[in-house]
Every structure is written in structure tokens, then in C-alpha cells.
Amino acid sequence: MTYVYGPIASQRLGQSLGIDPIPFKTCNWNCVYCQLGRTTPLTNQRREYAPPDAILADVSAALASHPPGTIDWISFVGSGEPTLHASLGVLIRRVKALTPLPVAVITNGSLLYLPEVRAELAAADAVLPTLVAGSAALFRSITRPWPGLTYERHMAGLLAFRQEYRGQLWLEVMLIKGMNDTDAALRELAAAIRRIAPDQVQITLPTRPPSEAGVAPPDAATLLRATSILSEGAQIVHPPQGEVDLSGAADLCAAIEGVIMRHPMRASDLARAVGRWPPEQVASALRTLEATGRARVVEYAGQSFWCVASGRYAV
């Protein structure tokens, strides 16, 4: 399938069927921690990057191929910023007409200052925007956004959405060692979080290859301090090990590429995910992906990760 992948195990969303409505690295941020590599070039144009009917056909096929109880959430997330798709609101509503499963949108939140984007996301059951800093300078250093997408505009969008939205607002806070994990940075973040008053605060960490060298998660002691400073009830979200459903795939190469384009995978996790295929077929598929320039191995923190070859990493 072109626009749908998974289900993938998620600590936050259980077994999540992903919908990716935009091309690889179509984004208005160029975050130093991005697991998909650098955004080149940045774009902030909202348009129909993929036909809604084609996306919905993939969703219908995926739902039909998975028995009841095997999918917990439908999530709009993937290889870029989903709110750049101009028909996202239509897609959310039409997906909800297809299934009683709850729908989530994982977004950087950069376009929430636009009333039309807030209105489109209103139909989702949960929205998970990003907040990485409590100051303009640190926000720019970490996200490296499209010009005009300022910290002040980002906060204004989050605050306006909190006032209007009736679903679950789960704020995602990416912590990076030496950047936003100092006491001063954490206290600024905590002040911003209190203003937004999300339903949950979820601390995420750069555990997959980041776009820039030197990006790493904070140590255990810093994480403990961060959870106490940021918010009562803040939780650290660790990526699950393995647990990607590729059982319905007919083309093993396409199935692997479809997942790593959105979620680079540890070699050990990928081996578990493709366990139903004969080892020689798996080895052949990986060789084909490498030889054709569709995938490569990136080393990070002493581990090997399968990533799409087009991802631009400094590590």
C-alpha cells in the first residue's frame, strides 16, 4: 500500500495503523533530532499532495485485511508534517465514517495558528502536537523552522487549539541532551506547558538515528529530574521493540520500505517483524533494497538501523 502502513506497536496508541498523506520529508521544520533525516528543502505549502480517494482506498483495504481487535487506533503520521495536506480534515472525517476506531493526528503543531487547520483537526479523537522549548532562541535551534513559523506563533496556535478542541490533547516533548534538558530550559518548558494545560505530557527521546551528529537522549538522572519539573504525571514514552505487523504484505521489499520510510527500525526489530518469511527471502529482500538504492543501514548509539536511503543523516 502506498499511503497506509502497519499496524505498528505504540506505547501511546497500542496497535496503530498509520496513514501517511504526504511525500517523504515534506515538512516545514528541519529538526536536529528527526529520525528521517534532514528536511531538504523546507516547504510550508498546504496542498493535496495525494488524492484523498486513493488514501481512503488504502485505508479501506487495510481495515478489511485485519481482523477486529488487531488495530487500536488510526493515526495520521508518517514521513513529514500531515497538516500540510490541504484535505486533512476531509480525510479525518471520512476515515471516521469507515470505522469506529479512534483517530489520532501526530503533528508538529506548527500550523495550529491557522483557524482552518484547527477546525480540520477538531474531528480527531486525539491530537499529539510537539513542544520542544520554552524560549524562541531554543525553539529555532532545535526545530529550524520555515521562516515565519516563530515560537510566538507556535505557542499562539497551541493555546488557541487548547481552548477550542474537545478531544484529547497529548503534548509531545522531545528532550535532547545538552540542548533542552538543563534546569533553566526545563523550567521554561514547564511554564509553557502550564499555559497550554494539555491532557497528557509525553516525553520522547532521540533513540533512532537523528539528522544531526551529537544528538542524544539525556541520562537517567536528568530524565528523572525532567519529569518532576515539566509536569505532574509526565510520562517517558519509549519506542516498543519490534511488533510491526507485516503479515498481510505480498511484496516483502515494499512492506519493509513502507515501514522504514516512516519509522527506521533496529536490525533486530526488523528481523522479528519479518519472522514469518524464510530467512533466505528476507536476506534477498534486504540485499535488493540496498542494491536498488531504496534502503541502507545507519549506525547510531552502537546499534544498526534500517533507514530509507534518501534520508540525509550527519551521524
- Report pLDDT digits (tens) over 146-189: 999 999 999 999 999 999 999 999 999 999 999 999 999 999 99
Residue 271: what pLDDT?
82
Tens digit of each residue's pLDDT (9 = 90 or more) over 21-32: 999 999 999 999
CB 34 within 8 A of CB 90: no
Mean pLDDT score of the chain: 93
Residue positions counted in the chain: 315
DSSP strand E in 51-92: where?
73-76
Measured distance CA(227)–CA(229) in Å, rounded: 6
Residue 249: what pLDDT?
64
Tens digit of each residue's pLDDT (9 = 90 or more) over 292-308: 999 999 999 899 999 99
Q: Show Cβ contacts of residue 75 under 8 Å, excluding neighbours closer than 6 positions.
A: 10, 13, 16, 17, 18, 19, 103, 104, 105, 106
Residue 246: what pLDDT?
66
Q: Peptide bond before 239: cis, by omega within 30 degrees of 0?
A: no
The pLDDT of residue 242 is above 80: no
Tens digit of each residue's pLDDT (9 = 90 or more) over 55-65: 999 999 999 99
More confident residue, 70 or 273: 70
**pLDDT, mean of residues 106-119:** 98
Residue 143: what pLDDT?
98
Say how many CA atoms lie within 13 Å of 272 toward its Cβ. 11
**pLDDT, mean of residues 108-127:** 98
CB 8 within 8 A of CB 259: yes
**Percent residues over pLDDT 70 in the chain:** 96
CB 35 within 8 A of CB 217: no
Residue 240's pLDDT band, with cuts at 50, 70 and 90, is low
Burial 74-100, CB ≥16 within 10 A → b, else e: bbbbbbbbbbbbbbbbbbbebbbeeee
Residue 78's pLDDT band, with cuts at 50, 70 and 90, is confident
Residue 279: what pLDDT?
83
